[in-house]
Amino acid sequence: MDTELQMTYGCIMQAVCVEDVFGDLKGDKEKVNRTAKKIYYRLSMVVHPDKNVDDKEMANEAFVRLSEFYERAQKKIQQGTYGQRIENKNDKGIGFVIKTRKQEYVISSTLAEGDLSVVYGGNCVGSDDFAGQIAVKIFGDVVDNRLAQNEIKVLELLQSEPSNQNKHLPVLLDKFKTTNGQLGTILRQIDGCDIYSIREKYKDGVDGKHMVWMLNRLLSVLGYVHSKGIIHGNIEPGHFMIRPKDHNGWLIDWCYAAVNPARSGDRFKVYNEDFSAPEVKEQKSPIPASDLYSVGKLMIYVLGGDVKTNTMPSTVEDKLQRFIKFFVRESPIQRAQDAWEMHAQLSELIIELWGPKKFLELKI
Ligand SMILES: Nc1ncnc2c1ncn2[C@@H]1O[C@H](COP(=O)(O)OP(=O)(O)OP(=O)(O)O)[C@@H](O)[C@H]1O
Ligand SMILES: [Mg+2]
């Protein structure tokens, strides 16, 4: 595992403007240019996809973003505006402004309205457009602040350690409290869509060949998260976002997660009739298998199956159906237990069913 790549990825994902990447550059234009170039070369050595064969996806994401930052930095240096925040056209917004010690943010749209919170779209004031898109989540009632606090705690915990699974987790940029005392989080906006919107587009579900890459991403992020003693506790279609063009996937909404439940006594915080395991209703202690149950249900939903009966379209290969049904067994001890183990088994199954992996784009 390359920690340098993971740390650099983390820094690049936290940056909202060129100055966050290249720092406070002093001197005349020539000197500033030379320093920026040096920093760019040093960072690109770390994140170049050719140098990171074990994690090309993470490297590629960081490299593309870094190159974009460098191009913009060069432009600002030439124009003599390096060090000044850009006034971008969205800075005025249409709604309200949030000011924290770190940044100023403008809300410009509503992305989603949940039961307890609203997720708004916006941008960081003075950011480079492409890097400053944010999703702001605000809980409607102060009594739910504990859920926001829980999401902040879990994301900070997961982000504090470099990992190549961070590419499947939301990036927490900032937090704030409204004048009414409601807690809010500022997340980097994910340029993907959740599984509800995928099913709106694919009314009969997606092909098994697409379902498997989504499952692969979910199992790998859960393998990591479970190894940290964290159970997501609320995996459902609104909480998995995908980006079809490069098959990335993000597991979001960590409000309901349980941290080290066996030791801390942390419990399930919500029950979803279609996607939660039976032990959630029974208020048993959260275990990794509870998340895997929800993953199985989610995959049945992705395929256009019936989550109540666990039936899947007849076009889905028998072996794949059997594999998924192992996730949704009612008894927790009889079902899939270990995300990494299932991840490995899935890779073998894919090859057995369709031969060597090939990239297949899902059109949306
Ligand atoms: N970082 C993000 N980038 C883009 N869209 C997001 C992001 N986070 C959330 N969304 C969108 O908002 C929806 C709701 O997000 P989330 O589940 O985190 O909040 P919520 O459902 O409103 O909260 P709760 O479930 O606690 O009531 C997601 O399904 C997704 O469509
Ligand atoms: Mg939610």
Could you report the per-residue pLDDT of 22-71, keeping only the tens digit for each? 999 989 999 999 999 999 999 999 999 999 988 999 999 999 999 999 99
pLDDT (0 to 100) of residue 359: 87
**pLDDT of 91 strictly over 70:** no
Instruction: Kindly state the average pLDDT of the residues 211-233.
Output: 97
pLDDT (0 to 100) of residue 327: 98
Which residue, by CA, sits nearest to atom 1 of ligand 1?
189
**CA of residue 216 to ligand 2 center, whole Å:** 22
Could you report the per-residue pLDDT of 299-358, keeping only the tens digit for each? 999 999 999 999 999 999 999 999 999 999 999 999 999 999 999 999 999 999 999 888
pLDDT (0 to 100) of residue 129: 82
**CA of residue 240 to ligand 1 center, whole Å:** 9
Which residue, by CA, sits nearest to atom 21 of ligand 1?
114
Could you report the per-residue pLDDT of 261-280, keeping only the tens digit for each? 999 999 999 999 999 999 99
Q: What percent of the chain lies above the pLDDT cut of 90? A: 86
**Ligand number, closest to the Cα atom of 133:** 1
**CA of residue 211 to ligand 1 center, whole Å:** 21
pLDDT (0 to 100) of residue 95: 66
Which residue, by CA, sits nearest to atom 31 of ligand 1?
194
> Which of 42-51, 85-94, 139-148, 342-351 has the weakest average pLDDT?
85-94
**pTM higher than 0.85 for the full model?**
yes
Instruction: Kindly state the average pLDDT of the residues 275-297.
Output: 97
**CA of residue 22 to ligand 2 center, whole Å:** 35
Dihedral, CA of residue 172, residue 175, residue 178 and residue 182, to nearest 10? 70
Domains identified in the chain and CATH numbers: 3-79 (1.10.287), 92-188 (3.30.200.20), 193-354 (1.10.510.10)
Q: Tokens for 143?
A: 């009594």
Q: Tokens for 117?
A: 């919170």
**pLDDT of 94 strictly over 80:** no
What is the CB < 6 Å shell around ligand 1? Answer: 111-112, 114-117, 119, 135, 137, 147, 170, 187, 189-190, 194, 238-239, 252-253, 255
**pLDDT of 142 strictly over 60:** yes
Could you report the per-residue pLDDT of 194-211, keeping only the tens digit for each? 999 999 999 999 999 999
